Amino acid sequence: MQAAVNTTTVGAHPHPTKSSFLRPSPPCRVYFHASPRPNLRAIAMASKSQLQDQLIITRPDDWHLHLREGGVLEAVVPHSARHFGRAIIMPNLKPPVTTTARAVEYREEIMRALPPGSSFEPLMTLYLTDNTSPEEIKLARKSGIIFAVKLYPAGATTNSQDGVTDIFGKCLPVLEEMVRQEMPLLVHGEVTDPHVDTFDREKVFIDKILAPLVQKLPQLKIVMEHITTMDAVNFIESCEEGHVAATVTPQHLLLNRNALFQGGLQPHNYCLPVLKRETHSMLRWPPIRNATICYKNAESYSFWFTK
């Protein structure tokens, strides 16, 4: 699950406009109940104005959701639907969701698992491979149900063996079509070179892959998912407004790499990208530390954490 009220897409309209990717969810109603203890200040204020017992907020969205398949999907979908209005659905199944036709099928599986009356909306993605074609990107855009393409460097994480091995040598025509279609690229930002230290893989990815990619295709919308370092923060803030963004996961707000080893090896605290040292804590980033979601422009509801 990714933290934020973030950007990405809209409802499953048959023919969504390109700008629809950035629209927020509709509001939902959240009730706050009075405390059993008397609140003297509240009582005093009540004499001047009527107390409000509810607050209208924006229903949260989950911008990085793994539903998997079968029994796992059937268990996770109702839980997510209770709490979120929409979610970006990760495509790293076995085999992965590499075509529009398979994404349509997978979406139907998700919809069948929803509780009756649920308005939850799955926002589908494609899994980028060395063999993805520009024509598939056109089909994805026309489908009305696919909102992004996910880049997994081959071998970087779970079910990434079919991922990209050479983004510049094998994927540039696809990425150029994504620019034309205004289709965002969601990125697992780690290199897989075994000679690179595990804790440096995000920084090296930025230096060797992401920065050159942004320079080559400055109009490509990129979301660097689940960032873990201040190197990523600094890079995102250095980019042109509205084109490069990030998401943050709860564990990278709450924990550092000490949590992997305190009291012995703690496997439940291990998740890729791996936790980093405290100097990389996302809570050091002012927009997060101040509990502030900043906006790059009127249509960009977070994902775009900014300066």
Q: Which domains does the chain have, with CATH numbers?
A: 60-289 (3.20.20.140)
pLDDT of 142 strictly over 80: yes
Higher pLDDT, 28 or 224: 224
pTM value is: 0.77
Could you report the per-residue pLDDT of 49-108, keeping only the tens digit for each?
Answer: 555 567 677 889 999 999 999 999 999 999 999 999 999 999 999 999 999 999 999 999
Q: What's the CA gap between 236 and 224, in Å, rounded?
A: 9
Beta bridge partners of 150: 127, 186
pLDDT of residue 248: 87
pLDDT of residue 122: 98
What is the chain's alpha carbon radius of gyration, rounded to the nearest angstrom?
21
Least confident among 14-18, 93-97, 105-109, 138-142: 14-18
pLDDT of 21 strictly over 50: no
The band of 302, judged by pLDDT with boundaries at 50, 70 and 90, is very low
| CA 64 vs CA 117, 127, 225, 271: distances in Å | 23, 14, 8, 14
The band of 16, judged by pLDDT with boundaries at 50, 70 and 90, is very low
The band of 216, judged by pLDDT with boundaries at 50, 70 and 90, is very high
pLDDT of 300 strictly over 60: no
pLDDT of 304 strictly over 80: no
